[in-house]
Amino acid sequence: MAWLRSAFQDELDGVTASLVQLSNEVSAAMDKATHAILTANLEEAEAVISADDQIDELAHELDNRIIEIIARQQPVASDLRALVTALRMSSDLERMGDMAHHVAKITRLRHPGAAIPSELLLTVQELGKTVKAVADKCSEVIANRDLEKALEMEKDDDEVDRLHRKLFEALLDESWPHSTETAIDMTLIGRYYERYADHAVSIARRVYFLVTGTYSEKLV
Amino acid sequence: MAWLRSAFQDELDGVTASLVQLSNEVSAAMDKATHAILTANLEEAEAVISADDQIDELAHELDNRIIEIIARQQPVASDLRALVTALRMSSDLERMGDMAHHVAKITRLRHPGAAIPSELLLTVQELGKTVKAVADKCSEVIANRDLEKALEMEKDDDEVDRLHRKLFEALLDESWPHSTETAIDMTLIGRYYERYADHAVSIARRVYFLVTGTYSEKLV
């Protein structure tokens, strides 16, 4: 039976490789969406918007492959858990792609104007940098089941929350000189980055649970 | 083998019954959250916030049961598809519960003040009524695989989108007399209702696909 087990292991490895590929693509998508919104770059925003279809397609194909593996291999216990978890991670990654898409759509909507007022550019840049770190660690956590990195992501997520609050504080400052339209854009943009990081952290927690059987929240 | 198949069918029916229960609970939660935010009722908002833990717990138990059924019964083809789809519907329903929770939290945050300015009360009331219809139809679609209702939900969702746009238009009106804080609240509230309805429609589409093998989007 050794060769059978090994063929199955190859299939699991293939699933992991596809999840890592998806994770790398949504990381690149959000990075480009951040650059586009900071520089009001329509061409980059359009590229993110079209790439989202490919991300959805990739996630969809992966889901079908996972279900086909479950049907054919009829795994139980930890192998079945790993495959069901892979389905959930694929769904989280697909949503992360949607968030990059949403950020890009705001860039397009406001073009040739800039969506972000100049005094908030640095905060959004920091948000973009932090979620990039989160997404790149997410790829490593999926690829290597690296639990150190999974715990680091919880801390990065705290930093995302701090920057998100900082955005709101700027909007709520009595001297806020911009339009309600800008306030709406900034509220949505803040939420997209926050949700993006939440999905990545949720992936890290799923991997943590698969490896240890406990939830990371209680440990950090 | 007839009795075995029948025991399995009983288990599938049990999964459906739990999904309907979850759907009814998230419908009640959002209905209460809407009433609470329209009337600035802290007690109701607190009830929604505590009930969300029970909804999460229910979804979590259901997920474990579904995975256990897959492991034990080793279903293939349409039975496996139905169980994987049930996992996804449980996740959609859990997110719908989160949206009700988020609306309730804004009520609590602004209490004893009202989160919603008086001229937008009717629009939010309509939004609440429309998503209640969506969620109640969602229960019927899950329970009876009622495809007529599934298609109706697509139309209800268009109405949610229309009301969502109406909220934004009010915020963007040059005569908008309220604070940025209120604009932020209304932006988030609008998004919570929209996401809530999106998840319900996504459930209807999953059922539609299970029954027909095609996507409903192309038919409406």
Q: Is residue B36's pLDDT more than 50? A: yes
Mean pLDDT of chain B: 94
Give chain A positions within 8 Å (CB) of B188: 187, 191
Looking at the partner chain, which of A77, A183, A188 has a beta carbon nearest the beta carbon of B71?
A77
- A11: which 2 tokens? 């299939």
Residue B4 domain flag = no
Examine residue A3 and state whether it is found in any structural domain, yes or no: no
Rounded to whole angstroms, how far apart are CA atoms A193 and A163? 10
Q: Is residue A171 part of a domain?
A: yes
Residue at A1 is within a domain: no
- Number of domain units in chain A: 1
B179–chain A nearest CA distance, Å: 8
- Give the C-alpha separation, B1 to B8, whole Å: 11
pLDDT digits (tens, 9 = 90+) for B48-87: 999 999 999 999 999 999 999 999 999 988 999 999 999 9
Per-residue pLDDT of B179-188, as tens digits, reads 899 999 999 9
DSSP A119: G
What is the spatial distance between Cα A91 and Cα A40, in angstroms, rounded to a whole number? 29
Q: What is the C-alpha to C-alpha distance for residues B14 and B187, in angstroms, rounded to an integer? A: 39
Lookup: tokens for B178? 């309220």
Angle at the Cα of B157 from the Cα atoms of B156 and B160, rounded to 5 degrees: 95
Q: What is the CATH number of the domain that holds B109?
A: 1.20.58.220
Domain that holds residue A42: 8-218
Cβ(A183)–Cβ(B183) below 8 Å: yes
Rounded to whole angstroms, the Cα distance separating B31 from B46 reads: 14
- A interface residues, B as partner, C-beta within 8 Å: 67, 70-71, 74-77, 80-81, 84, 87-88, 91, 168, 171-172, 176, 180-181, 183-184, 187-188, 191
Per-residue burial over A133-170, b = 16 or more CB atoms within 10 Å of its CB, e = otherwise: bbbbbbbbbbbeebbebbbbbbebbebbeebbeebbeb
Q: Is residue B5 part of a domain?
A: no
Q: What is the pLDDT of residue B219?
A: 43
Amino acid at A111: H
pLDDT digits (tens, 9 = 90+) for B156-184: 999 999 999 999 999 998 788 888 999 99
Contacts of A168 in chain B (CB under 8 A): 184
Question: What pLDDT, on a 0 to 100 scale, did the predictor assign at position A218?
Answer: 44
The pair of structure tokens assigned to A78 is: 């930890």
Residue A15 covered by a domain: yes
Is B94 a member of any domain? yes
Q: What is the pLDDT of residues A120-168, one digit of tens each?
A: 999 999 999 999 999 999 999 999 999 999 999 999 999 999 999 999 9
Q: Is the pTM of this model over 0.90?
A: yes
> Quick check: is A2 in a domain?
no
